[in-house]
Every structure is written in structure tokens, then in C-alpha cells.
Amino acid sequence: MFYDFAPQSRFLLGTAGYPSPAILQQAIAASGTDIITVSLRREGAAGAAFRELLTGLDIRVLPNTAGCHTVKEAVTTAQMARELFNTSWIKLEVIGHADTLQPDPFALVEAARILCADGFQVFPYTTEDLIVGEKLLEAGCELLMPWGAPIGSGQGLRNIEGLRAMRAWFSDIPLIIDAGIGAPSQAAQAMEMGFDGILLNTAVAKAGDPVGMANGFRLAIEAGQAARSAGLMEKRDMAAASTPIFGLASLS
């Protein structure tokens, strides 16, 4: 459950950078997603035509504050997005480092507190830091979106142990991996670890075949979730024969 919405798919898909609106539409359909993210800057560049395309999809829109570097900028962008898309949902990004696009934890928490008090349902883009996570929840967020790796890097889950610790510590909080996923296998790995969803954009939009890649991610996320639900076998230090030695026929 993501706030007031129970998605059928655990795949959240970004809408920026596709070769054409037609390919974007096809990729969204192939992904099976219930939720798409939209940057207010992207909306501003495309205007009414892009908004009409989104409306025709009959799918939940998660506006984001991509590109914001200050609390004021993020809050203002969120307020504009609420008016434009008629939703209290906002993916909150407050970037603090130009090279890694790592969120500014201090500005992020402050902006989250302001927006939650104003009635927003905030999806905060954060790191795997447990203290920042606690502060975001105290600010009023009901879920967290830790990065796997820097935005658009395709590096996958760079800090496996940190993410495992976050999953264990926030056992009852929805956690969505946001940013850094570059291959379906990485998405499956995150789902096997118990994360509740995957948000990505670049790995699909910039693929040679975005529609095929969207389908590949859909299958991988479904497989990872199914494996987690079924119960993964534990790793062992030693080999364990699948066929027991006891009872084997002697052929000597």
C-alpha cells in the first residue's frame, strides 16, 4: 500500500527521455505499471499535449520535484504540481550534490515536514541512511525511497548491506528503490531482498528497445517478488547434496 493506493504492479516508471510519445505509451503499457512519475519541468516543456497524453492513459501520476536544490524551490514546485495534476502525491527530490545527485538530507527533511503539514503525501527520494529515514517518518512521510545508486548511473545496488539494514529496520514501512537500477537482474535482486517496489526511468527510456526493456523489467520485478514470497533458500558454507546418500543402491 502506497498511502491511499494499492498498486497491482510494483513497477513505477518515469516518463522522461523517450524517443517519442508513441514509444512512451507503448513502454508504459508493456511495463504493466500503475504509477508513472512526471517532472514538472518536463510537463512545462511539453505543455498541454503531454498532459493530454497522460490523461488518456488513465494511470496514477506521481509528480516530482526533479532538479530542485533548495527547500523553497522544492516546496514551490510541489505546490504547482498539485494544482496542475490535481493530486496530493509528490515525489520529493532536494538535490545536494551536483555530481552524484545525492539528496541533501537536511533540506529534504525540512521540505518533507512543510509539505506533509500542507496535506501532501510525500514520496521522499533519500539514501539508505537510517537516521534520515527516521527523521522523514517523523516529518510525516509514510514510505521511503532509498537510492540504489546515483540517478541514471545504472550501477544497481551499490550498498547491499546498508539496504538490507534499512529493510530490516523499517520492517513495516513501504520501501521503494529509486535511482541507479540499470538492468532487470538488479531490480529482481532488490525485490528478493524484500523491497516493495522499483522506480526507474533511464534504463527503459534510453534502451535500444524501450518497449522490450519495459517488459523485461516487469518480468524481473514480478519474478523477484514471487521468489521473496515463496521463500528463498538460505546460503550455506558447504555443499549439500540434493539426493541423500542414505538408501543409494550399491553398484560395486
**Stretch 153-177: mean pLDDT, rounded?**
95
Assign 241 a pLDDT band (cuts: 50, 70, 90): confident
Q: DSSP letters of 139-158?
A: HT-S-BEE-SSSTT-----S
Instruction: Tell me which residue has cell 538408501.
Output: 247
Whether 14 has a binding-site annotation, put simply, is: no
Q: Map out the domains of the chain as residue ranges.
A: 11-230
C-alpha cell at 113: 515536514
Picking from 89, 181, 205, the residue whose alpha carbon sits closest to that of residue 143 is 89
Whether 179 has a binding-site annotation, put simply, is: yes
- Asked if residues 177 and 199 have their Cβ atoms less than 8 Å apart, the reply is yes
Exposure on the CB side of residue 76, measured as CA atoms within 13 A: 8
- What are the catalytic residues? 91
Whether 208 has a binding-site annotation, put simply, is: no
Residue 42 above 60 pLDDT? no
Whether 86 has a binding-site annotation, put simply, is: no
C-alpha cell at 16: 522522461
Assign 45 a pLDDT band (cuts: 50, 70, 90): very low
pLDDT tens figures, 184-207: 999 999 999 999 999 999 999 999
pLDDT tens figures, 123-158: 999 999 999 999 999 999 999 999 999 998 999 999
In CATH, what is the architecture of 11-230?
Alpha-Beta Barrel (3.20)
Beta-strand runs (E) in 5-148: 11-14, 35-39, 60-64, 89-92, 121-126, 145-146
Whether 201 has a binding-site annotation, put simply, is: yes
3-state secondary structure of 121: strand
pLDDT tens figures, 84-106: 888 999 999 999 888 888 999 99
Assign 218 a pLDDT band (cuts: 50, 70, 90): very high
pLDDT at residue 1, as a whole number = 76
CA distance 217 to 122: 25
